[in-house]
Chain A
Amino acid sequence: MESDFGRVIDALPGLVWTTRPDGYCDFLNRRWFDYTGLSWEQAIGWGWESVLHPDDRSGMLAYWQTCLASGTGGEIEGRLRRADGVYRWFHFRLSPVTDAEGRIIKWCGLNTEIDDLKRVEEKSRTLERRFRSIIEGLPAMVTLMTPAGEFAYGNQYMIDYFGAPFEELKARPTTESFHPEDRLEVDRRWKHSIDTGEPYDYEARLKGGDAVYRWFHTRGFPLRDPDGKIALWYLLQENIDDRRRADEELRASERNARAIVDGFPGLVAVFSADGFMEQVNQQVVAFWGKSPEALKDWTSADVLHPEDVPLKLNAFAKAFAARSSFEVEVRGRRFDGAYRWLLSRGIPVKDDDGRIVRWYNLLIDIDDRKRAEEALAASKRNLQLIIDTTPALIWSARPDGNTESVNQHFLDYLGRTLEEMQAWVWADAIHPDDQDGLAAVWSTLQQTGEAGQFEARLRRHDGEYRWFLLRANPLRDESGAIVKWYGVNTDIEDRKRAEEALRAREREQKRIIDTTPALIWSPDAKGRIEWVNQHYIDYVGLPLEQMPRQGWEIIHPDDVERLTETWKTLFSSGKTGETEARLRRHDGQYRWFLFRASPMRDENGTIVKWYGVNTDIEDRKRAEATVRLSERNLQHTIDATPALIWSTDPSGATDAFNQHYLDFVGRPAEELLGWGWAVTIHPDDQEHLTTFWKNLLAAGEPGQAEARLLRHDGTYRWFIMRANPMRDESGAIVKWYGVNTDIEDRKHTEQELSRSEAFLSQGESVSETGSFLWRLSTNEITWSQQLYRIFGFEPGSLVTLERIAALVHPEDLPRMDDMVARARMGRDSEYEHRLLLPDGTVKYLHFVARATRDQEGALEYIGVVQDVTERRLAEQALSKVRSELAHVARVSSLGALTASIAHEVNQPLAGIVTNASTCLRMLAADQPNIEGARETARRTIRDGNRAAEVITRLRALFAKKEASVESIDLNDAAREVIALSVNELQRGRVVLRQEFADDLPSISGDRVQLQQVVLNLILNATDAMSDVGDRLRLLTIKTELDEDEQVRLSVRDSGVGIDPQTASKMFDAFHTTKPGGMGIGLSVSRSIIDRHQGRLWARSNDGPGATFSFSIPRGELRADPAAFRSTATDAAQGTSPH
């Protein structure tokens, strides 16, 4: 907070300072130091005065004293010396900072630089006067004309010359003043200039007030506004009558030239035809203060300004060549060393033959005019430059308040053109909330005619409002009448923001103090309560005014004395301190508080104030009382506890025993204290117990040990001794507590148990059977020794499900997962699964487990695991022999399907050959049919793929393949079989109907085996209908999800039906009703379905024929893959009905 404040102060676009109430400066911000270049030591106190401008110092200090005396803020302007010694104007604003009582605790000041503004104001005030005085001071007529050519202003020279008041001149047609011979040309040239804006330059005769015509050289140039529009025409009319007359006279009396030259009331030099100076008149000599001889060398001597010599030479040379007059302006160095502007006019004098015989050089002093022109142009340039470069919005208004002009910054800011501004009252850009205030101030200013200022928000071109300080100053003419208002709008957005931030921060602090859940108060130097926060008021229930000033009345009478003493000590020592006392609440109840008081010091360390915070510690007090009470209770409890309880100091020396302990050993505490208790330990246990205890002390950790303790009657009993360190807040051990529990009975039981375990272990070893106990609640698994051996685990090592799973054969992992899931549901289970040991050997385990509950009712799983590897290996050897046989049988059944296979393969082959032939023909035509050929080629490829698929299906069905378990869509599987059987069915003239259920759940099993069952059923049904001639040979294959949620497939025929005599033997091996059959189909089919945990059955139809069905549980297979594998390939035999 404080550093933020500091940054804000340093970021303020101004110099910020504060002083103590007496004006002693105690803070200056970084900008102040940066600006003045002073150090803290130099500026502190009153040192800052040194940077005040000497002219301003006394006035400003007097003002500052006035403010200090009256206690009111104010503002003043003055100059401050910058680090580089330059003084710049600043606007000083100072205001007092008061506390809650309205007492000034500080002065705060902000200096804003206004130097540019000052200068502009100064310039603009003086410019018009200067302009006027320049015009009036010119030794020539000056006329200002409107763009339309109307007379706007004429200087005194003009009025004097014409001898008529300005109004009369204004009313007079302009041309009337000119010599009749000149009027036409003057009129023409003037109109041309008005129309084109080109400068006007012409010589003509003007009739003076004395009715005499004199020659005037008139030069006019337009004065343009910032937009380039002509605002005024400035006409300078110079009396050249003398010159003209001189010219004329020169020409008229060449022979009298010398006399004329000498008598000529101007500077004249005469040059020979070839350019050498022959003569100068007296005025020339007087001007330069040089002899005519010296002046002859005018190009090198100090006659002309060095820069102008080439000009004049050049003009001379041109005139020589052109044989015409020349005119050039040069600076002549007068006798006093001052350069003055001279109009140097050269006129050739020709003889009657037109030969140039001489040059007359007339020099007219135009210095005053020249300077005036330059000064005017320069000051105008400066003013515009200043106005446009001042980083403030500058404007001027007519006395009635209408905007006259604004500077470029103002236009940029508002995003408007000057024309828009003039036609538009820019009050529109003022924030609506500020408009009324501004209007009031402006109206007051216009009435009083005084300078003034106002803060308002101005809308920028992008629509954002920014705060501006609007200052307006009236410009008065000599008579004191206001002719103009000048205004400067300074962007104070940042200052405003800073002010707002400061206010917000003060509000925030006030809020924090008021919401702090503590009673905060501030006494004056005498200790009287001067201020309290809202909580204090709420707690006491009295407003501040009614609060007892000393505060003692609301302190509990018993605490007053102590509190008073504490206070006195604090006040005298000036230190922070605290004490506890009871404070009366609004409801009369006293509550304990922690009183804490701190002094607040100023920079010199003097205490200026005290602050106090009272924290409610009623609850803590109560808690302390409760603790004291519970400590007493604890001792009673320890003594009453029916266990042996003891405690030691940090070194391990026993310092207390409970009564129970003393009763048990039958000795007084004095004998046992320290290490005396050791005599009550069984001699065999003393050594290990002592070691244990020493280790425990060293480690500082809780621990337990078992040992025998001597009872008062002389018998030893087993105890488990537990010790716990007690630590303080810093973590250091302050005490050890110990409890000795009698475990004599448990020890006995343990010994019994270990005997039983030994028996069990031997039994398991003999039967190669392991057992385990699995507590599901804790996931704790206990194994017998034998089970460790079966799994090849280190006996006694920790057994986890993960560890077991790592050894289970990957193919059997789903079975283990299933077992675990069943166990968690509390179900019994019995499985066989394999282990794949790290050395690659496979073990077959038979596993039976029962769920039980222990004494607490928690679920336990007790199981037996038997190693049946040898038995399984024997079975597998047998099944392998059987499966070889099965394969031979299956391959032989290929013969039965040869016709079907040929048909299946020939069909796509026919397409391939036909398409290829067509393709060739299309390409071989006179006009090859490319598109057709491409299409037939595409079909060729498609039929080729179709043929390949047929082959793949056949290979799957007849390859010698290990059984596998996969997820099967029975509909898909049946369709593939049907595709292979179509020809058989057609041959048997059987009509096939398919009734496949949608959304049939998938089943798990061996796809090929199940397909062989389906094929077997289809072929059997076809055979059963081979002799039917009087009805449709209808074969219906149907799939469905039956009422037991099993997936069922039925094959129904309209054949001869089931003979009741043979029905019972139908599924026996080698039973057949067909002469050519091997009678193995149905028996193998049934064994396949059994291994899928399904069922195969047959029944007679209501009408003719029979229906053979099988059903298989949906979803996860629960069959035993090992057993499943052993007879897997038997299935092939089922495909041979003949």
Chain B
Amino acid sequence: MPKRATDKRPLICVIDDDESVRESLPDLIKELGFAVRAFSSAEEFLASDGPALAKCLVLDVAMPGMSGPELQRELKRQGRDVPIVFITAHTNDGIRPRVLKQGAAACLFKPFSDTALREALGTALQGG
């Protein structure tokens, strides 16, 4: 994904270990009118300039290595208050209230609709 320094559209970073999500979600987010970049792990995201540039994160909960909530805590520790929309394929545990409590903008269960994503991003960016 080329950097678009002059792009006026807010940059959304997608972080998910699942390749098909990394393929499909950025296209949808672009269609919604945002600039977008994708990362396959929390570590990759932290190593890039993503934390400095991102206006919002779309973050998978369960990932090998650093999990979504761990990244949320790490960013908070670094003082970066970027709004986060969590996404997860799990439906039956208490992840949703936990991350919202930690300050996430939204938590979507896979599969989610484009409308749900747009609303979540809208909420996140307004709040941010």
Contacts and interface: CB of A to CB of B under 8 A. Distances in A.
Question: Is this pair of chains taken from one and the same complex?
Answer: yes
Interface string A963-1001: 000000000000000000001001100010000000000
A921 B32 CA distance: 9
Among all A-B residue pairs, the 5 with the closest Cβ atoms: A910-B110, A917-B114, A911-B20, A913-B111, A906-B89
A44 B62 CA distance: 121
B98 interface: no
Interface string B102-123: 0000000111111000000000
B9 interface: no
A1027 to B, nearest CB: 19
B64 interface: yes
B53 interface: no
A920 B115 CA distance: 12
15 contacts: A899-B92, A902-B92, A906-B111, A910-B21, A910-B111, A912-B111, A913-B112, A914-B25, A914-B28, A914-B114, A917-B28, A917-B113, A920-B114, A942-B20, A983-B90
Interface string A902-933: 11001111111111011011100100000010
Contacts of A986: 62-64, 67
B27 interface: yes
A939 interface: yes
B93 A911 contact: no
A26 B107 CA distance: 125
A405 B31 CA distance: 98
Nearest to A908: B20
A915 B28 CA distance: 7
Contact of B24 (A902, A925, A939): A939
B81 interface: no
Interface string B42-74: 000000000000000000001110010000000
A946 interface: yes
Contact of B18 (A907, A918, A921): A907
Contact of B90 (A902, A915, A943): A902
A936 interface: yes
A898 B111 contact: no
Which size class do B's interface residues fall under? 20 to 34
Contacts of B27: 915, 918, 922, 932, 936
A983 B112 contact: no
Contacts of A898: 92
Nearest to B114: A917
Nearest to A906: B89
Contacts of B90: 899, 902-903, 906, 983
A979 to B, nearest CB: 13
Nearest to B31: A921
Contact of A918 (B24, B62, B87, B92): B24
A621 B114 CA distance: 114
A912 B89 CA distance: 13
Nearest to A986: B62
Nearest to A991: B64
A911 B21 contact: yes
A922 B89 contact: no
A922 B89 CA distance: 25
Given A906-B111, A910-B110, A921 B28 contact: yes
Given A902-B91, A902-B92, 12 more contacts: A899-B90, A903-B90, A906-B111, A907-B89, A909-B111, A913-B111, A914-B21, A918-B28, A921-B32, A936-B27, A986-B62, A991-B64
Of B23, B32, B87, B92, the most chain A CB neighbours within 10 A belong to B23
Nearest to B32: A921
Given A913-B111, A918-B27, A921-B28, A907 B20 contact: yes
A911 B26 CA distance: 11
Contacts of B31: 918, 921-922, 925
A987 B18 CA distance: 16
Contacts of A920: 114
Interface string A938-950: 0100110010000
A910 B61 CA distance: 14
Interface in B1-55: 18, 20-21, 23-25, 27-28, 31-32
Given A906-B111, A918-B31, A911 B89 contact: no
Given A921-B31, A986-B62, A914 B89 contact: no
B31 to A, nearest CB: 4
A990 to B, nearest CB: 10
A1073 B24 CA distance: 45
A987 B90 CA distance: 10
Interface of A: 898-899, 902-903, 906-915, 917-918, 920-922, 925, 932, 936, 939, 942-943, 946, 983, 986-987, 991
A986 B18 CA distance: 14
Of A920, A921, A942, A946, the most chain B CB neighbours within 10 A belong to A921
Contacts of B62: 903, 983, 986-987
Given A913-B111, A913-B113, A936 B92 contact: no
A939 B22 CA distance: 12
Given A918-B28, A921-B31, A899 B93 contact: yes
Of B20, B23, B67, the most chain A CB neighbours within 10 A belong to B20
Given A917-B114, A921-B114, A936 B24 contact: yes
A903 B87 CA distance: 12
A920 B32 CA distance: 12
B15 to A, nearest CB: 14
Contacts of B67: 986
A912 B112 CA distance: 10
B41 to A, nearest CB: 13
B20 A909 contact: no
Nearest to B28: A918
A505 to B, nearest CB: 88
Contacts of B91: 902, 906
B44 to A, nearest CB: 17
A1110 B88 CA distance: 36
A943 B20 contact: yes
A956 to B, nearest CB: 22
A925 B30 CA distance: 13
A807 B34 CA distance: 74
Contacts of A918: 24, 27-28, 31, 114
A614 B16 CA distance: 107
Contacts of B28: 914, 917-918, 921
A994 B27 CA distance: 33
Contact of B20 (A899, A917, A939, A991): A939
Contact of B89 (A903, A942, A991): A903
Contacts of A922: 27, 31
Contacts of B87: 910
Contacts of B89: 902-903, 906-907, 910, 983
A473 to B, nearest CB: 103
A894 to B, nearest CB: 14
Contact of B110 (A909, A921, A939): A909
Contacts of B21: 907, 910-911, 914
A317 B93 CA distance: 135
Given A902-B89, A907-B18, A939 B23 contact: yes
A936 B30 CA distance: 13
A500 to B, nearest CB: 86
A1022 to B, nearest CB: 15
Interface string B76-90: 000000000001011
Nearest to B89: A906
Of B27, B32, B62, B109, the most chain A CB neighbours within 10 A belong to B27
A567 to B, nearest CB: 112
B116 to A, nearest CB: 10
Given A983-B62, A986-B64, A946 B20 contact: yes
A1005 B62 CA distance: 35
B92 to A, nearest CB: 6
A918 B33 CA distance: 12
A554 to B, nearest CB: 107
B24 A915 contact: yes
A943 B18 CA distance: 12
